[in-house]
Amino acid sequence: MKAVSQGSLSSRVVMIHVSCLLALVAGLPPTSAANAADLVIAMPNWPSGQATANILKVGIAKEFGLKAEVKALGTLNAFVGLESGDVDIHPEVWRPNLDDVVEKYVVQKKVVTLSPRGVDAWQGLCATPAAAIDFKSVTDLMDGSRTARFDTDGDGKGELWIGAQTWSSTGIERIRANGYGYAANMTLVEAEEEVAMAAVDAAVATDQPMVFACYAPHYMFDLHKITRLTEPVFDTAKWKIASGEDPLWISKSKASVAWPTAHFNIAYASAFAAKHPDIARFLEKVDFSTEEVTQMSYALEVERQTPSAYAEAWVKTNAARVDGWAKP
């Protein structure tokens, strides 16, 4: 057999690779660039935000023929994306939780715009029926001998879920626990909401006492008889929350009163609005009620509907209403 030189062999290998690559490309579907989305909608990790993100996706496709990508993102990363142009819409910006972020991106930099229509909400602490018998006020949490009833891991200290790690409200709940004093005798648990709500379901089913951070609109109040603990009314003098961009913001903050009145709004990039003023007007007309937001979370968490399937059905059922949002 005739020997093949190293240079000749290398050339043949390259030619084979090139020919194989061309054959593969010929059989491939259109490139990712051709399939790229027209806009990106940030999707938070709580059920109503997931439902809303997908409703906006389906609604925008229906009314404007644009393809949106729904991308799971924490709110802080979403705002960075709204500024850079990597994100166009955030479906549910909670306040006062994100007041410092809103101040930076909306008020000062003016790179993000908030829809004027918001959904009323509240945040606080709640108790299961077994806990509500003896725990009616936040002051009842100050006694370690009493909160030991919430101990589930055998260390003698009760546990209290304060939110998911990525939520801004979780840090504020830790600040409130420090301010009130019950952080000294309770373990503050950070975990995904789905895990916490499963624990609430189990506690109610077995008649066990449990106290946890809560908010509304939320499906839990339709599912169980949950009681909200009473707290001292909101007082600005007792509510000082440092910027979340400061790594020491929790230690520099204080709060020993109830949350102020809450609400959440859709946010969109100001640059996106300049490019698509029709969609910006659409976003500013979206008007979910608190009851609808509760239904969203119930559908996703209790009925186990997927956000995308729920959104398709919701837009179909509310087609005339969605059409109205798109009218000039």
pLDDT at 6: 34
Q: Are 267 and 117 in contact (CB under 8 A)?
A: no
Of 1-10, 226-235, 294-303, which range is least confident?
1-10
Q: What is the CATH number of domain 122-255?
A: 3.40.190.100
**Band of pLDDT at residue 36, cut at 50, 70 and 90:** confident
pLDDT at 7: 39
Res 252 pLDDT > 70: yes
pLDDT digits (tens, 9 = 90+) for 142-165: 999 999 999 999 999 999 999 999
CA dihedral 121, 117, 46, 166 (to 10 degrees): -90
DSSP assignment letter at 230: B
Handedness of CA 183, 189, 192, 198 (dihedral sign): negative
pLDDT digits (tens, 9 = 90+) for 264-286: 999 999 999 999 999 999 999 99
**Band of pLDDT at residue 69, cut at 50, 70 and 90:** very high
Res 124 pLDDT > 70: yes
Q: What is the CATH number of domain 39-121+262-326?
A: 3.40.190.10
Two domains, one topology: 39-121+262-326 and 122-255? yes
pLDDT digits (tens, 9 = 90+) for 285-304: 999 999 999 999 999 999 99
pLDDT at 35: 60
Q: Are 111 and 269 in contact (CB under 8 A)?
A: yes
Res 28 pLDDT > 50: no
The Cα–Cα gap between 245 and 117 comes to 27
CB-CB neighbours of 242 under 10 Å: 16
DSSP assignment letter at 200: H
**Band of pLDDT at residue 88, cut at 50, 70 and 90:** very high
Residue 98, CA distances (Å) to 235, 242, 243, 280, 284 in order: 18, 11, 9, 21, 19
Q: Are 169 and 101 in contact (CB under 8 A)?
A: no
The backbone torsions φ and ψ at residue 144, rounded to the nearest 5 degrees and listed phi first, read: -60, -30
SS3 at position 67: coil
CB-CB neighbours of 109 under 10 Å: 12
Task: State percent of the chain over pLDDT 70.
Answer: 89
The Cα–Cα gap between 100 and 118 comes to 18
pLDDT digits (tens, 9 = 90+) for 165-199: 999 999 999 999 999 999 999 999 999 999 999 99
User: How much is the average pLDDT of 2-6?
Assistant: 32
DSSP assignment letter at 287: -
Domain map (residue ranges) of the chain: 39-121+262-326, 122-255
Tell me whether strands 254-255 and 227-228 are parallel, antiparallel or unpaired.
Answer: unpaired
**Which residues neighbour 267 within 8 Å (Cβ) at sequence distance 6 or greater?**
79, 82, 89, 90, 93, 106, 112, 113, 114, 115
Of 17-21, 78-82, 87-91, which range is least confident?
17-21
